Structure 1
Amino acid sequence: MKPNKLELSSVDGIQLNLEALYQIAPSCFTEVKDDKTGELRHVVNFKTLRQLLGDNAVEDADEMYQFTWPGKQEARREAARPTTKTLRPVVEDSVDWDNTQNLYIEGDNLEVLKLLQKSYMGKVKMIYIDPPYNTGNDFVYDDDFAVSQDDYDLFSGDVDELGNRYRKNTDSNGRFHSDWCSMMYPRLMVARSLLAEDGVIFISIGQGEVTNIVKECDEIFGSTNRISIVSRLMKSGGGKGQFFSPNVEYIIIYAKSISNVVGFREEISEEVIKKLYTSIETEGARKGEKYRPFGLYQSSLDARPNQRYFIECPDGSFVIPPGKTMPCSVEDGAMVYPNSDDGCWRWSRDRYLEEKANGNITFKKSDGVLVDQFGQPAKWNIYTKIWLADRQEGGATPVDLITKWENRQSAKELSELGIPFDFAKPIGLIRYLIALMPNTFNSIILDFFSGSSTTAHAVMQLNSEDGGNRKYIMVQLPEETPEDSEARKAGYDTIPEIAKERIRRAGKKIKEESPLTTQKLDTGFRVFRLADSNFEEVKKAPEEYDQSQLDLFLNNVKSDRTDLDLLFGAMLSWGVQLSLPMTSEEVDGKMIYSVNDGDLVACFADDITENIVKAMADKQPLRVLFRDSCFARDDAKINVFETLKQLLDWSEEEAIKNIKVI
């Protein structure tokens, strides 16, 4: 046997859907012969699937609830369509390349998300995006799925070096909302596949498309997985607007699977601490701790038979929540069965005694809320102690209105770094959203509309404060800065140039100011740039080529591509994460690369020797990769295959799976 070719395209979304359906309903699948390959493949028998669904299926009902727009079908197809593009490493733009686990990727985010699927599917804990708000001026990405090819060609002058079309989506466009929906839909579909089962996506959005993004997310994530629609004060004041001055935007929040998501908790602010946690314990095990007194009596609760009883106060008197019938003589704990309009305590008698024994009850002079055994206003009130330390550990439930971190703060934050850029999100807002989610310490945070990379800044800032090891992936189209902008005057021709410099300066500043400087704080990032395939397209039949072109069949790697280009392209194709550490070793004058101590071992040099093969096997690799041109003849390829199989004690099936060529 000889090693097979490595599949170089991204995930096929249709195949993913088939695999998911097969897990649920394998009986609706059958086999047919593929006309192109001659091999058998699985296909869906719709008749059987319909039988499984019974009456719960619909095709062309006259009336049914649905959200649609011109171009939706093509947008859905585009989400499933694989890409043959790749990501090229840009070491010279990176910081701490060898050690960092953070990624910054330049390129159209739809293509990039597809490329990340094999390596990061189900591994991203949180996604935050701040997409274009579609105001009539905002940048819109290159895909316009509803137009014909002829119409598409009309825009062919507005392309970048990769062939991506980009233009403004003005409000004079008759397909103003449809274009925006078609741009967002496939990106959200692919992004969902990257989320972990307990993952959450946060989407900042303005009023213009809030209803459409909610409908899209209800369809893609499921309406039952909608966590909230949060209002956010983006600015205060202002005199613009005919009826209202726009001061509010929204954050739409969805879970991959809401049943797997632990409730959000926020930090208790200093303002709340100063206002509510005003008491300090004077004795016992919690002496010196702050607490908040909270009344044991609550009139808003329904009267409960076991939660209305007398409590003895420090002066020997007895108190009880107010009610109609009161006996003249009682003792501590005497039960009074309430009428429907009688008050009661929040806790049962047993719970009260337990909390009192633990020092969680306090008595204070009364304001007349409670009554004594004679039905008169009591001299005491009874409070439970809500300990600040306990609340800080568990956090507080956030409200769905965010009033901090107005947008204008971001201009100051960037100005302090010497970066000229407007309209970024404040660091505090993104930091707050990340901190809401529990168990993110070692998680991956993704932002695929990353702009100036506020999200990367916020991740580093939060890590510096709590010792976390969160990693980020930033994706941004190389949009040019306006010619007359301060950014262009300062030498920043594109948004990624601004973002990369911001991360560099922010990381340096955070390290200088961080109280955790003795710990390892990752402020580096690996830069990648979206590019066409590393390989020349060979579409003609061999007889159509002249003699000078026949070497394309032996070596179809583009002349400007390096070993690192090939290595990272293979990592994407094989599902190996781009942030993993790597080493290189020279044997017999040829370079051997090892990713994450053997996750992938590769050699792309010509004339592979026996020493090279043995050195690769010594690393106990999980995967082995060569260039096809490493071997002068097929018999050399077969010999290497058999040698590795023997040295690594792999079965034939394991060797076929783990040894590949490109």
Structure 2
Amino acid sequence: MGADLDREFKVLSSRLPFGLNFERHSPEVVELPQRVIRKGDKVRVLPPRGATKKGDPRLWQVKNIRKTDDGKLADLELLHAAEVETQAVALADLVVVAEFRDTIYPGLVSTGKVQRGGEKPHHTVINGENYHVLKALTYTHRGKVDAIYIDPPYNSGAKDWKYNNDYVERDDQYRHSKWLAMMERRFLVAKQLLNPADSVLIVTIDEKEYLRLGLLLEQTFPEAGIQMVSSQINPAAVARAGAFGRSDEYIYFAKFGSAGPKRVELNREWVSAKGRTHNVVVRWDLLKRSGKKGSSRKDSPGCFYPIYIDPEGPKVAKIGEALPNDISVPKNVPGTVAVLPIRKDTSEGRWQWTPATLKSRLAEGRVRISGSIAKGFTVSILKPGEYNKIKSGEVEVTGYGVDGSLIVEGQDEGNSVRAIPSTQWRITSHDATQYGTRLLDDSFLPGREFPYPKSLYAVEDALRFFVVGKPEAVILDFFSGSGTTAHAIMRLNHQDGGRRQCISVTNNEVAAGEQETLRKKNLRPGDADWEKLGICDYITKPRVATAITGKTLDGKPIKGDYKFTDEFPMADGFEENAEFFTLSYETPVSISHNRAFERIAPLLWLRAGSRGQRIDKLPVEGWAVVEAYGLLVEVDSATPFIKALNKVKELSLAYIVTDDDRRFQAIARRLPAGVEPVRLYESYLSNFSFTNGE
């Protein structure tokens, strides 16, 4: 039996699972320099001020905090040690550490707001570890997010991201698996936030991780339809030693439920050289025969004839007869311009249809005229295959042009086309240098550098295909960086009057190049002079604020105009609202005893749609009602509370604070139709108790 078991074990152990295999590197940890240290916390001991070397990487637990003549001391005990080891360290020399298997109880602290949008919902910018913020959003936005757009670290080895508070270097042998572990954890939480019936996850990446990312997406989201687009972001190309210059990056679209790209108005850059786009409803071809074989006048003399164009249309005024072989100049018809099938090399070509055929198909609306006297006129036709789409009812005729040509649903007109593009994007406005780096530095945040921001218009275009027709969409970016996604959503709202809202999540990490300089000045993460240079406070929040106000940080109007799709002065700003928050970490005891309400209040407001007033303090009357939700603290005041709810339109939630489930159910039955009852703090505590552990 032992031999049989051994043989079977060897067979099983030799099998490898299909797909992407990597170390999960659990637990991932993050330092929380602004978190107040409490008894029972996990901490690390920081290096002395002024030192640039790494501190003690070991984890300690705070057993006691005591006051001394020199300040507060913490009694520590080493975690995960074979033998007990203790020490006493000044509280100021410690930093709280959270392992990603730990249960957290999040709150939010408001750090400012900008309001120009009246009753519109607020965009939110949250400063915090993005994994923990994602966990917080499972309470406020589970299944409610319409689109996620992220530009995660590309794992270039150039200190673009940290794992366990250390930069992942190019020569780290676990570099790829650390990156995958980091991404997988966040994807699994993001999956809970996306609307399974109709939503999209958009992820940008370059050549260093695009293969692994593709496999990770396939494994994490087997139910999604996944497609990759190649997008040119730098027409000049970035030189690579011993390799081709890189000019593009890749965009993955993971589509859930019924989600799919919608036809939108695109300029001519999206159309290929042959005038085609992916999934255009009908395609117009040139009447002039192309190619080398069979395209000259001598190949079909009966198809060399003039078409007289009335330039006021432009439209066809008359179709001439085939010219004799010895004549190349047509007769003059007053008020018209004669068009012949002359090829680019000025040789005589031929039309695809005879005069009689052209006349009959002109009557069917299958001939279209474009151009002008100055630029010349072009004659386009609907071939039988394309015309059959109309006759079969596959596409609907919506009207006729001035030239009598058919206009169908989705058909291009003039300088734009209503379509879905191909997977190759070579669009001028997607240049990251011109419309990312320079836009930020020249207009919105002069003098403040941010590495490799996305083109504003590239993000706008990627999202447009999925949020067009969704004016109330919720968009999440949990690798927010410079805040381009929020800016793009404001642009989309400006174009169609939408009320979309963006949740931007970023940490307050200081750029790697600045950290050593700051440490030499005796500064540490958590110090005010350190934190003010962090990404969130130095870049993200100011960028969102200046975009809304139309003014730079020194109060001057922003110079320049927005381009493409929607052109107007940047100084006009946007009629939008935004509020900025920092993630806080609470204890279940303080929450259940109403001692952390001011920090839980923003989560209740977010869950109700981030619109209108917020109930920031416990109401003295025992209840309060605002535009989007109500709060009942004293269940004995249920009757006046419910009366107040009935007077507010579009109110969606009622938070009821009680430990008595029967009383909660009794009050819930009395609520107005369409108002969701939520029991506090049971719903909050159970959400994080049961979902936050790994």
- TM over 0.5: same fold? yes
Instruction: Tell me how far apart the structure 2 counterparts of residues 133 and 276 of structure 1 sit (CA, whole Å).
Output: 35
Q: Does 1:67 align with 2:20?
A: yes
Q: What is the aligned counterpart of 2:444 among 398, 410, 417?
A: 417
* Amino acid of the structure 1 residue aligned with 2:320: D
Q: Which residue of 2 aligns with 1:445?
A: 475
Q: Does 1:532 align with 2:532?
A: no
* Amino acid of the structure 2 residue aligned with 1:524: N
Q: What is the aligned counterpart of 1:129 among 150, 153, 165?
A: 150
User: 1:505 deviation in Å?
Assistant: 0.7
Q: Indicate if the aligned counterparts of 2:261 and 2:420 stay in contact, CA closer than 8 A.
A: no
Q: What is the aligned counterpart of 2:320 among 304, 315, 329?
A: 315
* Amino acid of the structure 1 residue aligned with 2:363: K
Instruction: Tell me how far apart the structure 2 counterparts of residues 452 and 434 of structure 1 sit (CA, whole Å).
Output: 17
* Amino acid of the structure 2 residue aligned with 1:242: G
User: 1:432 deviation in Å?
Assistant: 2.0
Q: Which residue of 1 aligns with 2:497?
A: 467
Instruction: Tell me how far apart the structure 2 counterparts of residues 361 and 656 of structure 1 sit (CA, whole Å).
Output: 56
Sort the Cα spacing of 1:445 and 1:623 in 2 relative to 1 into closer, same or farther, 3 A.
closer
Q: Does 1:579 align with 2:599?
A: no
Per the alignment, in what secondary structure is the counterpart of residue 146 of structure 2? strand
User: 1:396 deviation in Å?
Assistant: 5.5
Q: Larger % of helix: which?
A: 1
Q: Which structure 1 residue ranges, 5 or more long, are not aligned? A: 1-57, 143-164, 278-290, 301-309, 320-342, 368-382, 538-551, 629-633
Q: Which residue of 1 aligns with 2:286?
A: 294
Q: Deviations over 1:517-559 (max 9, x none)?
A: 9x9954321223222135337xxxxxxxxxxxxxx9xx6444x
Q: Indicate if the aligned counterparts of 1:582 and 1:594 stay in contact, CA closer than 8 A.
A: no
Q: Indicate if the aligned counterparts of 1:504 and 1:524 stay in contact, CA closer than 8 A.
A: no
Instruction: Tell me how far apart the structure 2 counterparts of residues 642 and 199 of structure 1 sit (CA, whole Å).
Output: 33
Matches for 1:136-151 after TM superposition, within 5 Å: 136-140=157-161, 142=163
Matches for 1:516-531 after TM superposition, within 5 Å: 521-531=574-584
User: 1:205 deviation in Å?
Assistant: 1.1
User: 1:442 deviation in Å?
Assistant: 3.3
Instruction: Tell me how far apart the structure 1 counterparts of residues 358 and 107 of structure 2 sit (CA, whole Å).
Output: 61
Instruction: Tell me how far apart the structure 2 counterparts of residues 180 and 638 of structure 1 sit (CA, whole Å).
Output: 44
Q: What is the aligned counterpart of 1:480 among 510, 520, 532?
A: 510
Q: Indicate if the aligned counterparts of 2:229 and 2:251 stay in contact, CA closer than 8 A.
A: yes
Number of corresponding residues: 483
Instruction: Tell me how far apart the structure 2 counterparts of residues 223 and 240 of structure 1 sit (CA, whole Å).
Output: 37
Sort the Cα spacing of 1:658 and 1:73 in 2 relative to 1 into closer, same or farther, 3 A.
closer
Instruction: Tell me how far apart the structure 2 counterparts of residues 428 and 602 of structure 1 sit (CA, whole Å).
Output: 41
Instruction: Tell me how far apart the structure 2 counterparts of residues 233 and 638 of structure 1 sit (CA, whole Å).
Output: 56
Q: Which residue of 2 aligns with 1:217?
A: 217
* Amino acid of the structure 2 residue aligned with 1:590: E
Per the alignment, in what secondary structure is the counterpart of residue 127 of structure 1? strand
User: 1:261 deviation in Å?
Assistant: 1.3
User: 1:479 deviation in Å?
Assistant: 1.3
Per the alignment, in what secondary structure is the counterpart of residue 251 of structure 1? strand
Q: Does 1:407 align with 2:435?
A: no
Matches for 1:35-74 after TM superposition, within 5 Å: 62=15, 65-71=18-24
Q: Which residue of 2 aligns with 1:174?
A: 173
Instruction: Tell me how far apart the structure 1 counterparts of residues 672 and 544 of structure 2 sit (CA, whole Å).
Output: 46
User: 1:212 deviation in Å?
Assistant: 0.7
Q: Indicate if the aligned counterparts of 2:605 and 2:614 stay in contact, CA closer than 8 A.
A: no
Q: Indicate if the aligned counterparts of 1:295 and 1:384 stay in contact, CA closer than 8 A.
A: no
Instruction: Tell me how far apart the structure 2 counterparts of residues 643 and 114 of structure 1 sit (CA, whole Å).
Output: 31
Q: Larger % of strand: which?
A: 2
CA RMSD of aligned residues (A): 5.3
Identical aligned residues as a percent:
18
User: 1:294 deviation in Å?
Assistant: 2.2
Matches for 1:230-241 after TM superposition, within 5 Å: 230-234=230-234, 236-237=236-237, 239=239, 241=241
User: 1:268 deviation in Å?
Assistant: 1.2
* Amino acid of the structure 1 residue aligned with 2:110: V
* Amino acid of the structure 2 residue aligned with 1:421: E
Sort the Cα spacing of 1:124 and 1:234 in 2 relative to 1 into closer, same or farther, 3 A.
farther
Q: Indicate if the aligned counterparts of 1:221 and 1:255 stay in contact, CA closer than 8 A.
A: no
Q: Which structure 2 residue ranges, 5 or more long, are not aligned? A: 1-10, 29-97, 277-282, 293-301, 306-318, 325-349, 371-375, 380-403, 519-528, 552-556, 562-566, 683-694
Q: Indicate if the aligned counterparts of 2:510 and 2:531 stay in contact, CA closer than 8 A.
A: no
TM-score normalised per structure 1: 0.59
User: 1:244 deviation in Å?
Assistant: 3.6
Q: Which residue of 2 aligns with 1:395?
A: 419
Instruction: Tell me how far apart the structure 2 counterparts of residues 224 and 535 of structure 1 sit (CA, whole Å).
Output: 36
Q: Indicate if the aligned counterparts of 1:95 and 1:504 stay in contact, CA closer than 8 A.
A: no
Sort the Cα spacing of 1:108 and 1:459 in 2 relative to 1 into closer, same or farther, 3 A.
same
Q: Indicate if the aligned counterparts of 2:201 and 2:253 stay in contact, CA closer than 8 A.
A: yes
Q: Indicate if the aligned counterparts of 1:465 and 1:516 stay in contact, CA closer than 8 A.
A: no
* Amino acid of the structure 2 residue aligned with 1:412: R
Which has the larger displacement, 445-454 or 190-199?
190-199
Matches for 1:267-346 after TM superposition, within 5 Å: 267-269=266-268, 294-295=286-287, 314-317=319-322
